[in-house]
Amino acid sequence: MGTTFSPVIKMERPGTGISPTITPLPGSSLLAVHEVLSSALEDIARDHPELVVLNADTAKSCGVDKFFRAHPEHAVQMGVAEQNMVLVSAGLWTAGRIPVVTTFAAFACLRVCEQVRTSIAYPGANVKILASHAGISPGEDGVTHQCIEDLGIMRTIPNMVVVAPADAPSAVALLRQAVEHTGPVYLRYARPKTPVLYADGAPLKLGKAEILRVGTDIAFIACGPLVATALRAAEVLEQDGLSCCVVDVHTIKPLDAETICKVASLAGAVVTAEDHNIIGGLGSAVAETLAEHCPVPMGRVGVRDTFAESGRYELLLDKYGMSVERLCDTARAVFRRKR
């Protein structure tokens, strides 16, 4: 995902009342969440000694291997037994720990769905589910290891906070806030390197969408690695004379309806973008909110209710409809529907 874009000048569009909340980096450097996760957990454990990280034989792939080696007192290896990992995390919570469960999204959401709903979310266990390999990002591993269903499933579970950070620095910031939030959190991240949009220590807030770019014709509302794609698409469209908002909705639930409605009202047209099935995820959440509060023409970019296949992530994103070009095409089509 070698997409780049020039920094946006932080300024309020005249008369809009909206300005970028954070100015994104150029997106020219690439970083994967798993590369920074161990040190992030180390920092968090320093402030929260009750942290305990569980893993199901995927420590290296998830990026917690260094943490496991350095802090065995904060780490429990559960073997290839995800159901038990989730249940054990529930028990650890009752002993006053803050468990962080780590494995691939396909297992963290689908294999253990009922354990998560009934034994984590229902009692409100203070357990954090850290799901790697989200969306079609596991690429070459294919459909068995991809997961385009998790946002939809997790956000229908009461008590669950659902997070899909755009890049590694925001994943680190939001993970800390997830640990400091009392109650269950599901946080998903992509396996490969993706463009870095946020500086370390950027002031993101769980539950608060970030406006990265302001525009008056179209609003891109995105999450995960598709935020960078949306910023690139905004650049392209700007050259065509279409002015675009880009919003990073890293917290899918609770959804920042206020910011979403604000940019939707300003732009009058919305395109959502996510590495997820277009059914049930961010696009659905935004559609529900807009339909209730401020209906505008809208399009959804994501996997179009199909299973993908093996292949390089960038190529899969193109083939399965999540390229810059597809975002631009969708935006133009939605723009034409504006009255």
Question: Binding segment for other proteins among 19-27, 33-41, 86-94, 249-257 (CB under 8 A)?
Answer: 86-94
Q: Which is nearer to other proteins, 117 or 232 (CB)?
A: 117
- Residue choice 25, 86, 179, 221 for contact with other proteins (CB under 8 A): 86
Residues listed for the chain: 339
Q: Decide: is 160 part of the binding site for other proteins (CB under 8 A).
A: no
- Does residue 238 have an active-site annotation? no
| Measured distance between the N- and C-terminal CA atoms of the chain, rounded to whole angstroms | 35
Q: Decide: is 122 part of the binding site for other proteins (CB under 8 A).
A: yes
3-state secondary structure 14-67: CCCCCCCCCCCCCCCCEECHHHHHHHHHHHHHHHCCCEEEEECCCHHHHCCHHH
- Residue choice 34, 71, 97, 128 for contact with other proteins (CB under 8 A): 97
Structure tokens at 93: 């919570």
Instruction: Kindly state the smallest distance separating residue 111's Cβ from other proteins, in Å.
Output: 11
Q: Decide: is 81 part of the binding site for other proteins (CB under 8 A).
A: yes
Structure tokens at 251: 């917290």
Instruction: Kindly state the smallest distance separating residue 78's Cβ from other proteins, in Å.
Output: 7
- Residue choice 9, 95, 201, 241 for contact with other proteins (CB under 8 A): 95
Question: What would the x/- binding string for other proteins be over residues 34 to 73, using CB under 8 A?
Answer: ------------------x--------------------x
Q: Which of 35, 82, 238, 292 is catalytic?
A: 82
Which helix (H) or strand (E) segment holds residue 170: the answer is: helix 168-180
Q: Which is nearer to other proteins, 93 or 189 (CB)?
A: 93
Q: Collapse the DSSP code of 246 into the 3-class scheme (helix H, G, I; strand E, B; otherwise coil) and give the result.
A: strand
Distance CA 90, CA 77 (A): 15
Task: Quote the longest CA-to-CA distance of the chain.
Answer: 61
Q: Which is nearer to other proteins, 1 or 120 (CB)?
A: 120
Beta strands of the chain (E only): which ranges?
30-31, 51-55, 75-77, 98-104, 128-132, 161-163, 185-188, 194-195, 210-213, 218-222, 244-248, 251-253, 270-277, 298-303
Q: Which residues are part of the catalytic machinery?
A: 82
Residues that bind other proteins (CB under 8 A): 52, 73, 76, 78-79, 81, 83-84, 86-97, 99, 114-115, 118-119, 122-124
